[in-house]
Structure 1
């Protein structure tokens, strides 16, 4: 109470002196440091908001630093200076324990501590009321195929690229010019930070470039591109006859008589048209539902499933990471219900990643053991390209149908309340408000925070991967210019061009 009163300038001096006698000078010094620290915070952050959002900030810092170092293999200084620059300015610091493979993060030197722990093939997880270590032993067993000789197998299942020249009609100069633009930094105050670009034409890599410090071996965080992978995993369960997306989701929390949420279908969850309340805007609101769920909750799906319904299904579009976490829970309950946690963790690797050659891919778990299908997948740029190629090939890889027939078409079908969105993919088919006006209408994309894109253009046999760390990417990254520039280099011309 004293701390809050001092911070809010409500405590009289006599009260402060009396309380110092009670708490002691040591604690008083800490209090003074705390007050000064809060006074130094940016003006846009009021104190109550900071008190609510500080655990989100330390959780974000611990998680990003842990994954950046132990999953991506990056240098801590690079992570602090780029990915965590805002945290650094807001007086959040971290400590890496390389022996325990963990990271502690604090605000103002000692407050709001959060810890992230590296869990092997499960990536990094925040240690929030964490399960016993025995629970995580499933991650000690490599979940990828250790026998696969990916480096000596031909693309796309392996990494050996053909030595033949690219298609004779590809405009190499136009292609290189567009990549030069993508990696340029015209306004240093607003860095673009493109880290990787790959362009596929007709299934082959025709362009690949990385920023300094990154390579074909680097795992990149896809953020919300992971949602599109979650959609694919739902599709696989549909193909196996284990799910019907047009049936209601079977959450016990929604089965109370009269609860309208009991009628929400998996299809409506995939389309973000369930009508469930969820505040996604974590950039404008530091303590939004998304930030609170991702960085302070043990069980993310348990947080999301409690959200009330604010509109009838298919009446309102509401982009929601909480909704995708409900899909992640459905996947876990469907797979784990007939097996074990180990079987569940192995499911995406055995049924999707290995069949595409995506052997770097990791979907990290929340502290309850559910994969964070809303945003925590890491993979190399080539593996993200392999995923895009699956969709460009209508769900078939290496002559094997991975996704059920018609699933790709379904994923690209506009959602009734918002035709710019499909089933966890962004679409370009809305004639009244086209997302990328200079690109073909059949284009669709997995899109993640800070400018992560898998852009698929079936009519042009083209898949484009762009990975980076662009703050406010809608202002600082022109995806329409980038994609249309690449398509101008492709052999087949469209009416739009």
Structure 2
């Protein structure tokens, strides 16, 4: 009997040692997957708390844990509103990551934990003038909704709007004719556009092309590239996602895209170091790394750091009246032009209308004449993607070019698209813009084409 008791004690001791060893390993050398999960949790909670004013526990439960990787359900966050800090970790302690809020620039992931250095990259940006609330959109925020019963029926249809819809805005002939918002959200709630940010980033490049500070045929874009085949990559190649650079955009676990967003303090530097994996200009490869490098290039073209950080607001958001728009940077101060623009649905609609109008707003030619038409020309290496980071085919149609037209959409329809169901459909022939924002994972199979096609029919003149 004593031998049995002794064996059990020995076995329990081994278990305790194993648990302690496992905890020590996870604490001092956490796997990258845990750090990606904690980085994502901290960043999403931080932005939604400090930009959108949402409850952190709600954001963690609904935005982070419910739709995501099972590992995320074990993440706990801590929010320090006075210091503008959010930390997250597995059970709150393992693989901890930090995100920091900075004046005028939203939140930044701080993979190395050096929040002091992260704050040093912050540049105060004077707030944009408050829009006139009583003026009709787009000059103000007041909406004179359509009385068209067909339109109301379409946007009130849960299947048409899609699971997790947070905002729908329908713009016809330059006026909002219908809108709907999900529970807990309103016209005043800034919402993340994810990869729709890429299109806005290209428009910012366009402002510098107009000023003569950038050229689409420029090559030798980064100093290290001049020594090898990457010297042949042009700005236009990067805009068309055909640089030939290696970049894994798989969001499943730890891929290039998740490593860049949550483990790298210098996101542009991470992308810049990637080798060639295909012939320049000949192979289409969708890459968030490319979009962040474009941000670095246009910021360098602006020059002085404070001026570059203010550039999106002074040259684009301000003139368009996108008062809610916050484009976030990485720890080093490079705008995350691939993913991190928050704006209200009304402001996303303003940008869509801006594209529909060919880069003109209130009579001012903000983008070069013909630039938007160039953006939506098919990229040389793709039948479904435009030269300026817009989609010619809608969500799910990328494998079947022409499916959008077959579904009843005009042939000139093009799209801004983002992760988890963010879309802006732009149809110049119908003078129609349809914004759909929400939290709708791709696995649910939702596609907004049916709703947009129905709206085209109901509003056709």
In the superposition, the TM-score normalised over structure 1's length comes to 0.83
State yes or no: 1:55 paired with 2:31. no
User: Structure 1 unaligned runs (5+)?
Assistant: 1-12, 39-47, 186-190, 493-497
1:27-426 equivalence runs, <5 A: 30-31=20-21, 51-85=31-65, 86=68, 90-129=73-112, 133=116, 136=119, 139=122, 141-146=124-129, 148-161=130-143, 163=144, 166=146, 172-182=148-158, 192-256=163-227, 259-282=228-251, 285-336=252-303, 340-422=304-386, 423-426=388-391
Could you say which residue in structure 2 is the equivalent of 1:486? 455
Pairing 1:465–2:430 present: no
TM superposition shift of 1:446: 0.8
Q: Is the 8 A contact 1:428 1:440 kept in 2?
A: no
SS where residue 153 of structure 2 aligns? helix
Does residue 434 in structure 1 map to residue 434 in structure 2? Answer: no
Q: Secondary structure at the match of 1:358?
A: coil
Aligned mates of 2:201, 2:159 — CA distance in 1: 30
Of 111-120 and 217-226, the range deviating more from structure 2: 111-120
How many Å apart are 1:100 and its aligned residue? 1.4
Deviates more, 1:462-471 or 1:310-319: 310-319
Q: Do the aligned partners of residues 252 and 239 (structure 1) sit closer, same or farther apart at CA in structure 2, a change above 3 Å counting?
A: same
**Mapped partners of 1:143, 1:477: distance in 2:** 39
2: CA distance between counterparts of 1:249 and 1:380?
Answer: 37
Structure 2 unaligned segments of length 5 or more: list them: 1-8
CA contact (8 A) 1:363 1:378 kept: yes
RMSD: 2.8
Partners of 1:174 and 1:488 within 8 A in 2: no
Q: TM-score, normalised by structure 2?
A: 0.89
Cα distance, 1:182 vs structure 2: 4.2
In the superposition, relative to structure 1, how do residues 247 and 435 fare at CA in structure 2: closer, same or farther (>3 Å)? farther
Query: SS where residue 121 of structure 1 aligns?
Result: coil
Query: Taking structure 1 as reference, are residues 296 and 33 closer, same or farther at Cα in structure 2, changes over 3 Å only?
Result: closer
Aligned partners of 1:125 and 1:135: how far apart in 2?
8
In the comparison of the two structures, how many residue pairs are matched? 443
**How far apart, in 2, do the equivalents of 1:321 and 1:108 lie?**
30
The Cα shift of 1:432 comes to 6.4
- Specify the SS of the correspondent of 1:489: helix
